[in-house]
Amino acid sequence: MLNKKANLYERLYYIKYGTYVPYEANEGAEYEIPEQDFEEVIQSYFQIEREQIAANTAYEPHERAYRYRPRGFKDAELPFGPYPEVISYEEQEDGTIRLFIEAVWERKMTDHAVTSELVVRPLEDGSFQYVSNQVTGWDNTLEILWYTPRLTDEEWQYYYADIQNG
């Protein structure tokens, strides 16, 4: 979960502040984000307790900070992958909005590489909170080359040990 939440942090930071994270994406860089800063970004869009965030990320309790590693050359995602496009929506009785999404993948010439339903709750200040996301379809004929998971701790140490040791 660490890798997915770190990537999510980057994306939500951009949505919240309109700018990229303030950490240089140097090869092998590692940063500590103060817990309040990290949690505020995540909790702006998800109803999730701080204990759950800490349990599913690289939380350093003695530093009261979250470890953050920008993607480097060794774990970069390929460009030109599918991107989501909202094709319709429904307002729900509980005030949430269900978005119907198709992932367009131009390189494979398909407008429905993945289909999903995303539910969000609009907030009074014009922002929203995530409620759920469910993949409803997948084009099984496509070879999935667009996603590269972030490096595990062991892989990161292997590739960047020389940078860390000076």
Question: CB of 15 within 8 A of CB of 62?
Answer: no
Q: Which residue in 115, 112, 105 sits closest to 145, CA to CA?
A: 105
The per-residue pLDDT string of the chain (166 residues; one tens digit each, 9 = 90 and over) reads 344 445 788 889 999 999 999 988 778 888 999 999 999 999 988 888 999 999 988 899 999 999 988 877 777 766 677 889 999 999 999 999 999 999 988 888 888 888 999 999 999 988 888 899 999 998 888 776 666 777 888 988 888 876 655 5
pTM over 0.75: no
